[in-house]
Amino acid sequence: MNLARLVGVVSLLALAGCSQGTPATAPPTSLPSAPASSAPPSSAPASPAPARFAAGDVRIALVRQLSSGDYFEQWLAGAQAEAKALNVRLEVSSGDGNNDKQALNLEQAVTAGADAIIVDHGFAQTVQPAIKKAVAAKVPLVAFDVDPGAAEAVALTQDDHRIAEQALGALKADTGGTGEVVYVHVAGFAPLDRRDETWRQFKKDNPGIKQVAQIGVVNNSTASAVADQAKAALQAHPGVKAIFAPYDEFAKGAALAVKELGLGDRVKIYGADVSTADIAVMTEPGSPWVATSATDPANVGRVAVRAAALLVAGSPVEHALTVPPALITQKGLRDAGITSVEQLTRAFPELSTPDVARVPWTAS
Ligand code: SR1
């Protein structure tokens, strides 16, 4: 793949200098001149694996709120790959959107004597009581995309404010900061709530942007439910020129609605997350989905498992770990001929963050 052509693909924002526990800060707006060469060099293990890891005697429970959809599938694949690399048994449960079931799964992981627990999403009011029990039982815990409500837990997030800022930056550049916008949001999910904070500030800073409708649902068929809602919103507000849909299932649903209404030349979509299926949607002829801000979800799953493994080993882990996003544009993807996340991450190894929760006994 021609790297010079790839420079336009991704604004690799906030990637440089992101180390374990260092929240991503507002990045420079320039692109790196040679993205592929700025990846961390691979290195040999700094220390031997602790005996329990070498013996395959470590069990980490992954307690999920949600499991369907591209993001969550990729995230799990990354977590499983890292668990395999660390010789850890990863015991996966999902509430499948049932918050009480997730809380029960969490209590069962404590009772079953997991060496560490990763809580993946969830609502604070349902998981925090069970997290408190895990902490009381001295089970190390990593909380991804959920407020653990316990100082003892490691909190892992993507930089959600930056995700929203990058997508909205693209929206502003394309619209000139004026026009009617449909917003897709569901309250209660920590990453969406953080993106919502940025959206609220963005509206204050850009009074020419008018939110004419808010839609959103999260369930096992989020994209099709959002498509139905988006169609109704677009029919009710024919002047809309952008949809801010900061979750890939939202963006896919919005894209379907725009396509079915034949509005692709007039309504553009600014999303979050990326998958191979998302890239196909973004790059198909006439697609309205023009920009997305994303991490590599598999990389984030890997970070979660590494952080849990470090806790099991008694190694220090920063209290807050943040993975920075990159802005990916339709034009950049098309120009570079990128059709999969594998191509995207090969072209931009910075989308992997081995220094976030680096494990000293594995090679990077
Ligand atoms: C329902 S919450 C969906 C979000 O969780 C992760 O943070 C992904 O980025 C996704 O957008």
DSSP state string for 139-179: --EEEESS----TTSEEEEE-HHHHHHHHHHHHHHHHTT-E
Q: SS3 of 283, please?
A: helix
- pLDDT number for residue 355: 94
- pLDDT number for residue 39: 42
Q: State the distance between the two ends of the chain, measured CA to CA, in whole angstroms.
A: 23
d(CA 241, CA 171): 10
Name the residue of 194, 273, 293 to mutate for ligand 1: max ligand atoms within 8 A of Cβ: 273
Give pLDDT tens digits for 144-160: 999 999 999 999 999 99
Q: Whose Cα sits closest to atom 9 in ligand 1?
A: 273
Q: Is the dihedral of CA 213, 217, 223, 225 positive or negative?
A: negative
Task: Give mean pLDDT, residues 302-330.
Answer: 97
- pLDDT number for residue 347: 75
What mean pLDDT is reported for the chain? 89
The reported pTM is 0.90
Where does the pLDDT of residue 349 fall: very low under 50, low under 70, confident under 90, or very high at 90 and above?
A: confident
Q: Are 115 and 59 in contact (CB under 8 A)?
A: yes
What residues line ligand 1, using a CB cutoff of 6 Å?
A: 71, 145, 158, 189, 191-192, 218, 247, 272-273
Residue 124, classified by CB atoms within 10 Å of its CB into exposed (0-12), middle (13-18) or buried (19+), is middle
